[in-house]
A and B are shown apart, each in its own frame.
Chain A
Amino acid sequence: MAGHDRRRGGGCCPAMDLMRSEEMQLVQLIIPMESAHRTVSYLGDLGFLQFKDLNSDKSPFQRSFATQIKRCGEMARKLRFFREQMTKAGISPSAMPLPRTHVNFDDLEIKLGEIEAELVEVNTNNEKLQRTYNELLEYNLVLQKAGEFFYSAQSNATAQQREIEARQVGDGSLNSPLLMEQEMSTDPSKQVKLGFVSGLVQKEKSMAFERILFRATRGNVYLRQAEIDYPVTDPVSGEKVAKKVFVVFFSGEKAKMKILKICEAFGANRYPFTDDFGKQMQTIEEVAGRLKELKTTIDVGLFHRDKILKSISHQFEQWNNLVRREKSIYHTLNMLSLDVTKKCLVAEGWSPVFATGQIQEALKRAATDSNSQVGSIFQVLHTREHPPTFFRTNKFTTAFQEIVDAYGVAKYQEANPGVYTIVTFPFLFAVMFGDWGHGLCLLAATLLLIIREKKLSSQKLGDIMEMTFGGRYVIMMMSVFSIYTGLIYNEFFSVPFELFGSSAYACRDASCRDATTEGLVKIRRTYPFGVDPKWHGTRSELPFLNSLKMKMSILLGVTQMNLGIFLSYFNAKFFENNINIWYQFAPQLIFLNSLFGYLSLLIIVKWCTGSKADLYHVMIYMFLSPTDDLGENQLFPGQKTLQLVLLALALISVPWMLFPKPFLLKKQHQERHQGQAYAMLQSTDDDLLQVEQDHGSHEHEEFEFSEVFVHQLIHTIEFVLGAVSNTASYLRLWALSLAHSELSSVFYEKVLLLAWGFNNIAILIVGIIVFVFATIGVLLVMETLSAFLHALRLHWVEFQSKFYEGDGYKFSPFSFTLLSQEED
């Protein structure tokens, strides 16, 4: 092919050709050990070589560069540690591009190690200090709260005592029981000496704590708790938790042991406390003093840490990139096989033919830069393996290619439906979404995305947003096309406009107001573009539009399916497969066109002549009784003869599709088999590698006639039935378009006009809000989605099933730019 040869000579930038995937070649590189790293790095910058894993039988740690990968992993871990520390300290890695200083990998490793050690040391010191600080804070709280307990208890006690005394004074003549009571409460020698433990316990555990204390001491314990209003930093875990101060009073040594154990088990921190008021004051002062001291020390430590982190933050991104690159380089190096002499590495991989020059140049540059005495050797290998599929897309075509790839990646150099998808996809979408008002809204939204493209592409978007952003050019094309079809349908939020001159129809006399009841006459020339606005709202609007859209859908469908069949011709031609041309393409074309091509012809003739023939009738009776006279349904002379010929052709083309191909394939296989037996002998002293690969592919070519025949049978049945069902499937174009216009007229008439009719501002505002939300939610978002899905289906099933194999695999080169995209 012409494009083919042109590309072969192409140097740096061949003409963009989406029809066939780039020509690929399997290349072998023999790289001297000393320049291997640099070579792979340059190739990664270039991004045009997909390395093959030559060590797939070895486990990761048995490969030659496992240690380096481990080192990279270790460095990546350190970097993650830094990032974590930085986010904790609230420092973000600076995004500003620094002058790209060259950092040596080994130096960086040492440096990272040093910084990590320093950070860890600073952190442990800080942690220790922080811990003491938090402990003191807790102690302070205990002192305060417990002090309150004791104070309130004491004042209660004194108040009680005073009351008793007062009563005594008042009723001096009272007898013994009261005296005894007084004695009991006041005589210090008879008081039981209670011990107590004070501390802090986590709030959520305090209930269980109390319960266990009660059970363990059989209720011989008195617990006071006070909640702290704000969360306290736990000294051990360093987290903020809600806590309670508690004081437990108990009696006896055994109880004390138990309580201490329980405290320990609950992680309750105990702090000493004295009931002597003077001593309390003294400790509070001491604690406050120490707190102040510690605070300054901690601040200095934090300042030091922040300084380290800030200095990291400037270079963080650069280091991160470097480590990532190194890791990927060593991963790639691991895929290369080591030469027997261990002096050079052998790489194999796929590369596009046009990049040969660039790759060779990169190899040369790497050899000179690393002062290697021997250059790398670049040679092209011949193979029968299927090369990967590589399309060079730009930001406009990528999304369309993605639509095709989502179905299946094209076989190597097979005709790419992506080329046609660029136009047909938005067009079919627009047929279903024909409204130029909605189209304009969609266009405005997508233009917003396109204008802010640079900004948006650099930042991280949400899931749905990312999808919309990725398909922004698809949406743009879709909206442009739907403006076009909207103009043809004359729909603008279901309001008709007389944009291209005035309507061709008018009332018989000027007095009539309701066009739907009175007959209209044609007074001017036909409305120049699209549907006449007068149709809108008439009684015959729906039958007219339905007939128009239904026929149009069939015309579009038959055209697209024919395009698909022709593409199968181009494929067969390209791969020089004459069997497919004569025994697949030709009968398929004849079959489809003798039935549905004929229908299309009838539709066009009917439109041109304005005949009133019933096309259903014609098509049905063409099969049921082909010899009958057509009568009033005749559209043109000689129609009956033509029908008979077409019917005969269609009937012949079915066995034509079915039988010859498998037999011819069998014959072909036998011939090839014989030929190859001779070829094998000759090629033994030829290229060893090639023979081996020939041998490998040979085993797969077992020819199973029954299998091939069944395959062909299925294909034939699928095509014959598919011709009917696929054509019917294109009627979805009409159905969705109808649904869209009906929905929009419902929203317009039943919401907006209804609200308008009330003559009330409030109702009108509500009506407008409902209308806007319904339009955006239902018509712009949901209808777009559904029309998108239906267009997708028409492409994947109805169009691509005619020719597209889609069993290839994508070219995924080793490239640093792809690498950084992946990580994000």
Chain B
Amino acid sequence: MYGFEAMTFNIHGGYLEAIVRGHRSGLLSAADYNNLCQCETLDDIKMHLSATEYGPYLQNEPSPLHTTTIVEKCTQKLVDEYKHMLCQATEPLSTFLEYITYGHMIDNVVLIVTGTLHERDVQELLEKCHPLGMFDSIATLAVAQNMRELYRLVLVDTPLAPYFSECITSEDLDDINIEIMRNTLYKAYLEDFYKFCQKIGGATAEIMSDLLAFEADRRAVNITINSIGTELTRDDRRKLYSSFGLLYPYGHEELVVCEDIDQVRGVMEKYPPYQAIFAKISYGESQMLDKAFYEEEVKRLCLAFEQQFHYAVFFAYMRLREQEIRNLMWISECVAQNQKSRVHDSVVFIF
């Protein structure tokens, strides 16, 4: 199919690609961020956002505004756009779009399970869930006591079910268990998504494999850094790495034995694309790593828009919008807590 997709792509995908590109041009620009960073109060932010595409979502909010409201409304906009696209999509684009939400689903499952473990109210937890990762029986997760029950009761109906095959144990749920479960699920999800994209083929496969490989590598690095100093064995650690990406397989071998962050750095610097990321960070520091990764990701996502006739634009758009919402959240938090000097710490400019 490669090379000929341009001929037939527009029959089903043309309308939605136009839509998504239109949405993409509605992303906040650097000038918008500059203005937002100068805001004194949350009302100023609201006023500025009302001139953007977020306007209709924020205009009916009464004045003492909270950061959560802003984030909630902005997410609402993303969800509405996503639902619109999903309604219009045909196969295989609709499946592709659904794949995008599985990540949120995993996060939601983990959030609820951890929450119930610490005896939080289910309703309260549900409000914190990302609306893109909702499924019907999500609230029932609270009933489950161990992985097996979790799977048998609830997740068997969800698209996440196949990913569970690796982590069914009868152990009771605890924090480490859950974290391992999250990573195993995520690994299975990424591999599945990767396989799906390869199946679609063409430019979608090409671009998505690049984006997903980056995602997998980032997760591998994060897992390594987070598991340093915990009782996770090397074999267990290896099991959590996805079986594709730039680091697979030799990089993984080296990451498995890392004992501190500088060793991770040593491994990563062998790979030219990641060398630039680590070059920005001073030795022994891991705080700024997230931001560096985000920046690199945004750069790659923006590049996805350079090609036409492929599905990766949908993935890229959703990710960029999520990044934008994270930025807005950070800015509003800084404004609300009078920490304006720290505004630039975590904002990743999209353009």
Contact = CB atoms under 8 A, between A and B. Distances in A.
A638 to B, nearest CB: 63
Contacts of A574: none
Interface string B130-142: 0000001101111
A258 interface: yes
A768 to B, nearest CB: 42
Contacts of A262: 140, 143
Given A59-B38, A262-B143, A265-B139, A73 B47 contact: yes
A384 interface: no
B50 interface: yes
B153 A212 contact: yes
A81 B143 CA distance: 40
A264 interface: yes
B39 A77 contact: no
B139 A264 contact: yes
A66 B45 CA distance: 12
A588 to B, nearest CB: 43
A823 to B, nearest CB: 14
B47 A77 contact: no
A205 interface: yes
A437 B63 CA distance: 63
A499 interface: no
Contact of B50 (A66, A73, A80, A216): A73
Interface string A50-93: 00000000011110001001100110010011000000000000
Contacts of A60: 35, 47-48, 51
Contacts of B40: 61
Contacts of A73: 47, 50, 59
A261 interface: yes
Contacts of B140: 212, 261-262, 265-266
- State the majority secondary structure of interface residues on B: helix
Contacts of B153: 212, 215-216
A208 interface: yes
Contacts of B43: 70
A212 B47 contact: no
Contacts of A62: 38
B152 interface: yes
A205 B136 contact: yes
B62 interface: yes
A216 B47 contact: no
B45 to A, nearest CB: 9
A33 B62 CA distance: 31
B247 interface: no
Contacts of A69: 47
A77 B62 contact: yes
B206 interface: no
Contact of B47 (A61, A215, A265, A267): A61
Interface in B131-162: 136-137, 139-143, 152-154, 157
Given A59-B35, A60-B48, A81 B142 contact: no
Nearest to A66: B47
Contacts of A211: 157
B122 interface: yes
- State the majority secondary structure of interface residues on A: helix
A61 B59 CA distance: 16
B47 A70 contact: yes
Interface string B22-46: 0000000000000100111001100
A270 B98 CA distance: 34
Interface in B315-341: none
B152 A212 contact: no
Nearest to A84: B60
Interface residues of B, number: 27
B69 to A, nearest CB: 14
B139 A266 contact: yes
A58 to B, nearest CB: 10
A309 B86 CA distance: 40
Contact of A77 (B35, B44, B59, B137): B59
A221 to B, nearest CB: 13
Contacts of B51: 60
A266 B141 CA distance: 11
Interface in B40-76: 40, 43-44, 47-48, 50-51, 59-63
Interface in A666-702: none
Nearest to A204: B136
Contact of A74 (B35, B48, B63, B142): B63
Contact of A215 (B35, B139, B141, B152): B152
Contacts of B50: 73
A66 B38 CA distance: 14
A258 B157 CA distance: 19
Contacts of B48: 59-61
Given A59-B35, A59-B48, A66-B47, A264 B122 contact: yes
**Which of A60, A211, A265 has the most C-beta atoms of chain B within 10 angstroms of its own C-beta?**
A265
A266 B139 CA distance: 7
B342 to A, nearest CB: 21
**Which of B59, B61, B137, B142 has the most C-beta atoms of chain A within 10 angstroms of its own C-beta?**
B137
A211 B158 CA distance: 14
Given A66-B47, A70-B43, A205-B136, A258 B143 contact: yes
A208 B136 contact: yes
A264 B143 CA distance: 10
Given A61-B44, A208-B137, A212-B154, A265 B143 contact: yes
Interface string A780-795: 0000000000000000
A374 B125 CA distance: 64
A77 B152 contact: no
Contacts of B62: 77
**Which of A69, A80, A258 has the most C-beta atoms of chain B within 10 angstroms of its own C-beta?**
A258
Contacts of B63: 74
A216 B139 contact: no
B151 to A, nearest CB: 10
A211 B40 CA distance: 53
B60 A77 contact: yes
A74 B43 CA distance: 10
Nearest to B154: A212
A265 B142 contact: yes
Contacts of A264: 122, 139
Nearest to A257: B143
Interface in A497-525: none
A258 B43 CA distance: 45
A763 B153 CA distance: 69
Interface in B104-144: 122, 136-137, 139-143
A784 B36 CA distance: 52
Interface in A249-265: 258, 261-262, 264-265
A252 to B, nearest CB: 15
Nearest to A67: B43
A205 B157 CA distance: 14
A117 B24 CA distance: 40
Nearest to B112: A265
Contacts of B154: 212
Contact of A216 (B35, B44, B60, B143): B143
A121 to B, nearest CB: 14
A258 B154 CA distance: 13
B61 to A, nearest CB: 8
A261 B142 contact: yes
18 contacts: A60-B35, A60-B48, A61-B40, A69-B47, A77-B59, A77-B60, A80-B59, A205-B136, A208-B136, A211-B157, A212-B137, A212-B140, A216-B143, A261-B142, A265-B122, A265-B137, A265-B140, A265-B142
The 10 A-B residue pairs with the shortest CB-CB distance in the complex, in nearest-first order: A265-B139, A59-B35, A265-B140, A61-B44, A261-B143, A215-B153, A212-B140, A61-B47, A74-B63, A208-B136
Given A80-B59, A208-B136, 19 more contacts: A60-B51, A61-B47, A62-B38, A73-B59, A74-B63, A77-B59, A77-B62, A80-B60, A208-B157, A212-B153, A215-B152, A215-B153, A216-B143, A258-B143, A261-B140, A264-B122, A265-B141, A265-B143, A266-B139
